[in-house]
Amino acid sequence: MNAPLRVARCAIVCAGLLGLGVQAEVPPPGRLLASNCFQCHGTNGKGPGFDTIAGKSPDEIYKKLREFAAGKEGSGIMARHAMGYTDPQMRAISSWLSTQR
């Protein structure tokens, strides 16, 4: 009695997983956060606008963000913007942007 049931349950579970698999486009970490940069630096960090920020090393982008947030790059709009993020958020933004070319 039990064995066929288990098979049936497995079939349902597998079908369910497959169903999910069909549209499983799990957003990469940091992408949505980094999209806050796109309005000024272009979609995916490049394009018309301010400096291209795509494709630099994660350390380089993170260091720059920290400098802005610490006020070492003046008190302009980008400095204020950088001050709005937590340290882990800056790391996530930097590492996602570094994957873009």
CB of 68 to other proteins, least distance (A): 11
Distance between CA 12 and CA 58 in Å, rounded? Answer: 43
The binder of other proteins chosen from 3, 26, 74, 101 (CB under 8 A): 26
Residue 23, interface with other proteins (CB under 8 A)? Answer: yes
Residue 99, interface with other proteins (CB under 8 A)? Answer: no
The binder of other proteins chosen from 5, 24, 74, 101 (CB under 8 A): 24
List of residues contacting other proteins (CB under 8 A): 18-27, 31-33, 35-36, 38-43, 47-50, 75-77, 80-85, 89
